[in-house]
């Protein structure tokens, strides 16, 4: 297997490990700033206004201003809150969000930790975010927080099932849980991506409807996992103030916020890896050098993040019963059908 | 001390400290959240044992499923969340008996540990544990696999039935 290029440059030592941890973190910080700006600007354009215009050229420095504002804010801990858990929750939440980046394949020679079970790992580590939400919601000792946390957990647990089925189908199609292996199989042009049935002969056209609907199921489930509109019931402002992070301020709130953006990227990245060919160039071997691969991977994921933001400012919020209906009665059976069809196909091809 | 040992002792420390937290904390909620770190530490130990699939399954099943269930159970019985856990009937007799039996068990374990000639077989390094596990589940342990599946299906139907009765 191809080595991580950092091992070739710095050897198998402390420097390499430190860089392996730092590079994704720095990437995450920069990405979060860009995503905040994107959120502000896209929201404004959707609503036919200009958005932030005064900080820097066309307001591009707005996210920096927001971060500085959050850093300066007073860190309030409510008197009746459970202090140790209240302080711990943002870190647990962020651990879950950042943990996924350990197995994120940015290019064919750069993945922080090359795991044989990478797909499963990224899916599983999200559990920390769920725990973080419960911890924050319960420790705040506020009924809105508790309601938000309970809604968040029930939503995330129910939407894990269609996503798990989608991931299972991809594992069956690729015959592997190794992210690099899954991506390798999707090489050679965009018609070999799993969204179009993966590699195969002409008859893969039969399986395309199933992979396409799995892609949609996975994306919708991803929206619910990250608590984005139309699934932002855990933070529904009109009902429960701000949900599980009602009582948080300053840097701790920023960490929740940050974890949400990191989760958005993680979900988009998994979809990009499973269905859109990960770091593979859409044009086969053309423009498929490592640096370009990182570019393709990040732009595919960022495009999906853009769609999430776009949807957020377009759709209204679902009701709780509609939410459960969509998950259990629509997405789960559909995902089962797709899974069986794809499993049969991957045995026959 | 190489990296492997340092990481091993780190995870072992996490497991022991948080397990002590589960047992000794006076609040149910602290015990439930301490369990998070215990499960995490055990997953780390699995990784060190080259059992990557088991490690991820540990996180998936225990942290993502069972722990959330436990926390929900504690949270929904809100009368007990802030209750101090104390056992009222512990007297001298119980302490003495418990102390004696603990010492006997500990002594037995230590003697056994010192007297057994531990052999460490060289293990062939596996590329991936997923494939062997899958093959074994579909051949040698097929019956157990199917029985577990039927058990889970029964539990699923039972849960749906209980939830439906209003």
| Chain A nearest-CA residue for B76 | A150
Predicted pLDDT at B101: 94
- Sign, CA dihedral B63-A81-A226-A293, equals negative
Whether residue B36 and residue A131 make contact (CB cut-off 8 A), yes or no, is yes
Residue with tokens 């409510």, as numbered in its chain: A78
Q: How many residues does chain B have?
A: 166
Question: Is 0.90 exceeded by the ipTM?
Answer: no
Q: How far is Cα A160 from Cα A99, in angstroms, rounded to an integer?
A: 18
Burial of B69-107, coded b for 16+ CB within 10 Å and e otherwise, reads ebbbebbeeeeeeeeeeeeeeeeeeeeeeeeeeeeeeee
Distance in Å, alpha carbon of A118 to nearest chain B alpha carbon: 9
> Residue B123 gets which letter from DSSP?
P
Predicted pLDDT at A292: 81
**Do A183 and A279 touch, CB atoms closer than 8 A?**
yes
**CB within 8 A of A144, min separation 6: which ones?**
A240, A241, A242, A243, A246
Instruction: Choose among A85, A121, A130: nearest Cβ to B56.
Output: A121
| Number of C-beta neighbours around residue A190 at 10 A | 15
**CB within 8 A of B57, min separation 6: which ones?**
A120, A124
Asked which of A35-49, A275-289, B8-22, B135-149 is least confident by mean pLDDT, the reply is A275-289
Rg (CA), chain B: 21
Percent of chain A at pLDDT > 90 equals: 0
| Chain A nearest-CA residue for B35 | A131
- For chain B, helix (H) and strand (E) counts, in that order, are 8, 0
> pLDDT higher for A80 or A267?
A267
Q: How far is CA B72 from CA A139, A236, B66, B68, in A?
A: 13, 21, 10, 6
- Confidence check: pLDDT of A31 > 60: yes
A chain contacts of residue B52, beta-carbon cutoff 8 Å: 115-117
H/E run at residue A202: none
Average pLDDT estimate for A31-50: 87
Whether residue B68 and residue A150 make contact (CB cut-off 8 A), yes or no, is no
Q: Where does the pLDDT of residue A222 fall: very low under 50, low under 70, confident under 90, or very high at 90 and above?
A: confident
> Most A CBs within 10 Å: which of B21, B32, B33, as the mutation test of the A interface?
B33
Residue with tokens 């544990």, as numbered in its chain: B129
**Do A268 and A305 touch, CB atoms closer than 8 A?**
yes
Distance in Å, alpha carbon of B75 to nearest chain A alpha carbon: 8
B chain contacts of residue A157, beta-carbon cutoff 8 Å: 68
**Which tokens hold the place of A219?**
């994306």
| Chain A nearest-CA residue for B52 | A117
**Mean pLDDT value across chain B:** 84
Q: How far is Cα B57 from Cα B49, in angstroms, rounded to an integer?
A: 14
Helices A143-174 & B68-76 angle (0-180, nearest 10): 160
Whether residue B127 and residue A116 make contact (CB cut-off 8 A), yes or no, is yes
Least Cα distance to A148 among A171, A162, A132, A161 occurs for A132
B39 CB near a chain A CB, below 8 Å? no
* Phi, psi dihedrals of residue A110, rounded to the nearest 5°: -140, 105
Asked which of A179-183, A188-192, A211-215, B54-58 is least confident by mean pLDDT, the reply is A188-192
Q: Please write the tens of the pLDDT for every residue from B63-75.
A: 888 888 888 887 7
Q: How far is Cα B126 from Cα A117, in angstroms, rounded to an integer?
A: 13
B149 CB near a chain A CB, below 8 Å? no
| Chain B nearest-CA residue for A1 | B127
A chain contacts of residue B30, beta-carbon cutoff 8 Å: 84-85
Q: How far is Cα A47 from Cα B32, in angstroms, rounded to an integer?
A: 45
Least Cα distance to A189 among A297, A288, A255 occurs for A288
Predicted pLDDT at B80: 56
- Sign, CA dihedral A92-A253-A303-A213, equals positive
A chain contacts of residue B18, beta-carbon cutoff 8 Å: none
Q: How far is Cα A270 from Cα B32, in angstroms, rounded to an integer?
A: 30
| Chain A nearest-CA residue for B72 | A150
| Chain A nearest-CA residue for B31 | A85
Cα-to-chain-centroid distance, residue A252: 20
Q: Please write the tens of the pLDDT for every residue from A181-203.
A: 888 888 777 777 877 777 777 77
| Chain A nearest-CA residue for B126 | A116
Average pLDDT estimate for A39-57: 84
> pLDDT higher for B114 or A321?
B114
By CB atoms closer than 10 A (0-12, 13-18, 19+), residue B1 is exposed
**Do A157 and A249 touch, CB atoms closer than 8 A?**
no
> Most B CBs within 10 Å: which of A87, A134, A153, A244, as the mutation test of the B interface?
A134
**Do A165 and A332 touch, CB atoms closer than 8 A?**
yes
Predicted pLDDT at A1: 44
Q: How far is Cα B79 from Cα B124, in angstroms, rounded to an integer?
A: 53
> Residue A317 gets which letter from DSSP?
P
- Confidence check: pLDDT of B95 > 80: yes
A chain contacts of residue B130, beta-carbon cutoff 8 Å: 116-117, 177
Residues of A with CB under 8 A from a CB of B: 82, 84-85, 88, 92, 115-117, 120-121, 123-128, 130-131, 134-135, 138, 146, 150, 153, 157, 160, 177-178
**Mean pLDDT value across chain A:** 82
Percent of chain A at pLDDT > 70 equals: 97
| Number of C-beta neighbours around residue A89 at 10 A | 29
Average pLDDT estimate for B139-152: 92
Domains of chain A by residue range: 79-348
Q: Indicate the pTM of the whole model.
A: 0.83
- Confidence check: pLDDT of B160 > 60: yes
Q: How many residues does chain A have?
A: 349
Q: Is A107 helix (H, G, I), strand (E, B) or coil?
A: strand
Asked which of A25-29, A212-216, A236-240, A341-345 is least confident by mean pLDDT, the reply is A236-240
B83 CB near a chain A CB, below 8 Å? no
Q: Please write the tens of the pLDDT for every residue from A57-103.
A: 887 888 888 888 888 888 877 887 778 888 888 888 888 888 888 88
Q: How far is Cα B102 from Cα A22, in angstroms, rounded to an integer?
A: 47
Average pLDDT estimate for B42-64: 86
B48 CB near a chain A CB, below 8 Å? no
Predicted pLDDT at B79: 60
Burial of A192-214, coded b for 16+ CB within 10 Å and e otherwise, reads bbbbbbbbbeeebeebeebbebb
> pLDDT higher for B28 or A69?
A69
Rg (CA), chain A: 21
Average pLDDT estimate for B123-136: 79
H/E run at residue A178: none
B chain contacts of residue A84, beta-carbon cutoff 8 Å: 30
Distance in Å, alpha carbon of A230 to nearest chain B alpha carbon: 24
- Confidence check: pLDDT of A114 > 90: no
Q: Where does the pLDDT of residue B93 fall: very low under 50, low under 70, confident under 90, or very high at 90 and above?
A: confident
Q: Is A110 helix (H, G, I), strand (E, B) or coil?
A: strand
Q: Where does the pLDDT of residue B1 fall: very low under 50, low under 70, confident under 90, or very high at 90 and above?
A: low
Least Cα distance to A342 among A163, A207, A176, A195 occurs for A207
């Amino acid at each position: 297997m191809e080595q991580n290029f950092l091992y070739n440059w710095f050897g198998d030592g402390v420097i390499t490990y430190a860089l392996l941890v730092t590079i994704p973190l720095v990437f995450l910080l920069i990405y979060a700033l860009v995503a905040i700006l994107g959120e502000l600007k896209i929201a404004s354009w959707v609503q036919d206004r200009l958005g932030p215009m005064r900080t820097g050229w066309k307001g591009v420095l707005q996210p920096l201003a927001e971060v500085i504002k959050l850093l300066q804010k007073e860190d309030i801990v409510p008197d009746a809150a459970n202090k140790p858990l209240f302080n711990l929750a943002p870190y647990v939440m962020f651990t879950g969000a950042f943990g996924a980046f350990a197995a994120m394949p940015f290019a064919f020679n750069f993945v922080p930790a090359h795991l044989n079970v990478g797909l499963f790992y990224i899916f599983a580590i999200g559990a920390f975010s769920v725990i973080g939400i419960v911890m924050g919601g319960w420790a705040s000792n506020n009924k809105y927080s508790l309601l938000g946390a309970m809604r968040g957990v029930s939503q995330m647990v129910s939407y894990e099932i269609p996503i798990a089925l989608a991931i299972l189908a991809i594992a069956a199609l690729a015959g592997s849980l190794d992210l690099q292996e899954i991506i390798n199989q999707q090489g050679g042009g965009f018609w070999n991506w799993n969204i179009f049935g993966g590699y195969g002969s002409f008859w893969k056209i039969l399986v395309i409807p199933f992979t396409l609907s799995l892609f949609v199921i996975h994306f919708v489930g991803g929206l619910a996992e990250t608590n984005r509109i139309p699934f932002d019931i855990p933070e529904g402002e009109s009902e429960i103030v701000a949900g599980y992070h009602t009582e948080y301020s300053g840097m701790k709130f920023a960490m929740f916020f940050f974890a949400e953006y990191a989760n958005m990227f993680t979900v988009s990245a998994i979809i990009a890896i499973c269905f859109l060919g990960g770091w593979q160039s859409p044009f086969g071997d053309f423009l498929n050098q490592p640096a370009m691969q990182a570019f393709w991977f990040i732009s595919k994921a960022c495009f999906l993040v853009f769609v999430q933001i776009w949807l957020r400012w377009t759709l209204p919020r679902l009701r709780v019963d509609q939410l459960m209906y969509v998950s259990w009665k629509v997405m789960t059976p559909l995902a089962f059908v797709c899974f069986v069809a794809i499993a049969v196909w991957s045995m026959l091809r | 001390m190489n990296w492997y040992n340092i990481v091993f002792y780190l995870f072992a420390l996490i497991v022991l400290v948080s397990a002590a937290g589960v047992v000794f904390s006076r609040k149910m909620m602290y015990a439930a959240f301490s369990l998070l770190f215990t499960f995490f530490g055990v997953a780390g130990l699995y990784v060190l044992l080259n059992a990557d699939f088991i490690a991820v399954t540990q996180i998936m099943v225990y942290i993502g499923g069972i722990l959330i269930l436990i926390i929900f159970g504690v949270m929904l019985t809100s009368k007990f969340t802030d209750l101090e856990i104390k056992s009222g009937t512990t007297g001298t007799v119980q302490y003495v008996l418990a102390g004696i039996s603990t010492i006997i068990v500990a002594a037995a374990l230590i003697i056994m540990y010192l007297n057994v000639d531990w052999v460490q077989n060289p293990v062939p390094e596996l590329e991936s544990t997923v494939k062997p596990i899958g093959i074994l589940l579909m051949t040698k342990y097929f019956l157990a696999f199917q029985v577990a599946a039927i058990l889970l299906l029964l539990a699923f139907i039972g849960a749906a039935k209980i939830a439906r009765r209003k």
